Amino acid sequence: MLPEFDLVMPRSLNEALQVLAAGSPEVLPIAGGTNLTVDMRSGRYEPKVVVDIEKLPELKGIRRENGQICVGGGVTIAELLKDGLVAETAPVLKSACALFANPLIRNRATVGGNLVDGSPAADTAPSLLALDAEIELTSQDGKRRLPLDEFFIHVRKTARQPNELVTALRWALPKPGTGSAFYKLGLRKADAISVVSVAVVLEAEKGVCRKARIALGSVAPRPVRAKNAEEFLTGKLLKKEVFEEAAALTAQAVSPISDVRASAEYRRRMSAVLTRRMLEQAAEQTGWKE
């Protein structure tokens, strides 16, 4: 048994938003519950009311929509992992999902819950940041869309208001000449919170970088982009020395902490190593050979 709370099981998004409308931090939605139940048991969160949004049809589905891919906030990691549209338009997200916990957790964990939890180690975050994804937040007052980069604020702090639900994520279809890569360095295989994770998306034309996105997890109070390195890469020929330089810039952009898993120094160094490797892999996928 968990500490006591009232459970509301709305049948539609509107009903759910009504319950949340008061904007009380003591009313929390639950999706897969893989974070929330653990947090309630440990006493980190003590909601008075829990709203089950897991079965809401409005939060489900992965579809093409006005030249974008739209993923419902309640889509599970397992669904993302086996979806053809995701594989085709966002292989970097698929890679992240493949390294996300294990099949058991993936069957329950949702992408909305992953992002709202606000963990710097959230595994879908670097890939979605690298995809320039937009997050859709819905309340009774209406919908708003934010670049995901503006959504994350600090550890367990996001731009979500207590009356809002994450209803969707969107990203653009990839341009020709796009390459991407994701890697998570854990102490073990997938089923471990990462020490460092890196997602890279590159757009290139004849080997010249048109746009670069580098995003990292577990190395700052929130999932972060290495904007200095992204800027540096733009317009450069994709080659080894450039990657080295971009990797070094990435290491400057992160502000890791030391904890049981690894020291700050190690995380910083690994940010560079992984970034370089991911850049190499992504560059190869753009179809350009040095």
Residue ranges in contact with another protein by CB under 8 A: 1-7, 9, 30, 32-34, 37-38, 40-41, 50, 52, 54-55, 78, 102-105, 107-108, 185, 187-193, 195, 259-263, 266, 269-270, 273
13 touches, from another protein, ligand FAD, none (C-beta below 5 to 8 Å by class)? none
Beta-bridged to residue 83, according to DSSP, are: none
Longest dimension (CA), the chain: 61
DSSP letter (8 states) at residue 178: E
Task: Using DSSP bridges, classify how beta strands 27-30 and 49-52 pair: parallel, antiparallel or unpaired.
Answer: parallel
- 269, with CB counted inside 10 A (0-12, 13-18, 19+), is middle
Tell which one of 89, 114, 139, 218 touches ligand FAD (CB under 6 A): 114
Give the C-alpha separation, 152 to 118, whole Å.
7
Tell which one of 2, 9, 22, 38 touches ligand FAD (CB under 6 A): 38
Nearer to another protein among residue 98 and residue 146 (C-beta):
98
Residue numbers 59-78 binding ligand FAD by CB under 6 A:
59, 73-74
Beta strands in 66-139 (DSSP E): 68-72, 134-139
3-state secondary structure of 239: coil
123 touches, from another protein, ligand FAD, none (C-beta below 5 to 8 Å by class)? ligand FAD
User: What's the token pair of residue 78?
Assistant: 């397992």
Measured from the CB of residue 127, what is the shortest distance to ligand FAD in angstroms?
A: 11
Interface residues with ligand FAD (CB under 6 A)? 28-36, 38, 53, 59, 73-74, 100-101, 105, 108-110, 112-114, 116-117, 121-123, 160, 165-166
